[in-house]
Amino acid sequence: MSDQHVDTTPVWVEGSALAAPAILGAAAGMLIGDLMHGNARRGFGIGLGILGVAALLPYAVDSVTGLITGPRSKFGVRRKIQKIRDIGIGSPHEDEVDDELREQGVI
């Protein structure tokens, strides 16, 4: 029996599900826009624009952070090399081979 899960959802379904809130918001904005005063509409639009930028900010920060400290950047390579070097560092009391050699008088 296979443990693999095969997703049979068409690609367009995911794309339309992601676009639906934006389309509904635009439609509601067009309908409500005529009912609002011009200055109120401008302030509301600026507020929604700021909210949209704030919603996208975590994605932008994550991508910039990935570029700066990612595995292919200079800092990422240094961090990986340091982790590799640190793996070999251990306390001498944890080394069983050295303990046995000391007991036998070889060291």
If asked whether residues 36 and 82 sit together in one domain, one would say: no
Q: Is 37 a member of any domain?
A: yes
Q: Could you tell me the two tokens for 24?
A: 């509904």
If asked whether residues 49 and 79 sit together in one domain, one would say: no
- Total count of domains within the chain: 2
If asked whether residues 81 and 46 sit together in one domain, one would say: no
Which helix (H) or strand (E) segment is 84 a member of?
helix 74-87
Q: Which of 24-38, 41-55, 84-98 has the least mean pLDDT? A: 84-98
Q: Could you tell me the sign of the dihedral formed by the alpha carbons of 38, 44, 50, 55, in that order?
A: negative
* Cα–Cα distance, 66 to 72 (Å, whole number): 9
Give the tens place of pLDDT for each residue, 42-86. 888 888 888 888 888 888 888 888 888 887 888 888 888 888 887
Give the chain's mean pLDDT: 78
Q: Is 63 a member of any domain?
A: no
Task: Tell me which residue range forms the domain holding 50.
Answer: 1-57
* Cα–Cα distance, 63 to 71 (Å, whole number): 13
